[in-house]
């Protein structure tokens, strides 16, 4: 790749079709992408994963992500979402039980 092509295209690499990439949007905001599409991965999971590896991206920086690292971030996010769903169902159940138990006393 020549300097002229970098100047013309704006980048030495086209990361839009890379399998997994991680972009740093601000100091503490990392974004995992799959073939250019942003994935709704937990920001804290991403930060913790990269902090454990000793990696600190700077705002505007994008790197290729290893498939295994991406998989772990996705799995941890799915697990956290499952726990959140469980807590929501539990809270909903308690609320519905109290509503049904008190139906007669609201008249």
Residue 106 lies in a domain: no
pLDDT band at 84 (very low <50, low <70, confident <90, very high): very high
pTM of the model: 0.70
How confident is residue 37, by pLDDT bands cut at 50, 70 and 90? very high
Is residue 107 domain-resident? no
Average of per-residue pLDDT values in the chain:
85
Domain count of the chain? 1
Q: Is residue 1 part of a domain?
A: no
Quote the pLDDT of residue 13. Answer: 64
The whole-number pLDDT of residue 105 equals 62
d(CA 73, CA 55): 15
Torsion of CA 92, 98, 99, 102, to 10 degrees: 180
Q: Please check whether residue 17 lies inside any domain of the structure.
A: yes
Range of the domain at 21: 9-100
40: its two tokens: 């709704």
**Cβ-based neighbours of 57, under 8 Å, separated by 6 or more:** 22, 23, 24, 30, 50, 63
Residue 2 domain-assigned (yes or no)? no
CB 39 within 8 A of CB 72: no
Residue 65 predicted with pLDDT over 80? yes
Burial class (CB in 10 A: 0-12, 13-18, 19+), 63: middle
CA distance 51 to 104: 55
Is residue 16 domain-resident?
yes
Structural domain contains residue 22:
yes
* pLDDT grade for 93, boundaries at 50, 70 and 90: very high
Residues 6+ apart with CB under 8 A from 74: 32, 39, 41
Between 3 and 53, whose confidence is greater?
53
């Amino acid at each position: 790749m020549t300097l002229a092509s970098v100047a013309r295209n704006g980048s030495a690499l086209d990361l839009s079709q890379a399998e997994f990439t991680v972009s740093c949007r601000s100091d503490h905001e990392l974004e995992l992408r799959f073939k250019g599409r942003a994935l709704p991965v937990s920001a804290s999971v991403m930060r913790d994963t990269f902090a454990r590896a000793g990696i600190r991206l700077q705002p505007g920086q994008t790197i290729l992500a290893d498939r295994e690292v991406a998989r772990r971030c996705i799995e941890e996010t799915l697990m956290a979402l499952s726990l959140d769903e469980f807590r929501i169902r539990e809270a909903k159940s308690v609320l519905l039980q109290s509503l049904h138990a008190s139906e007669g006393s609201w008249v």
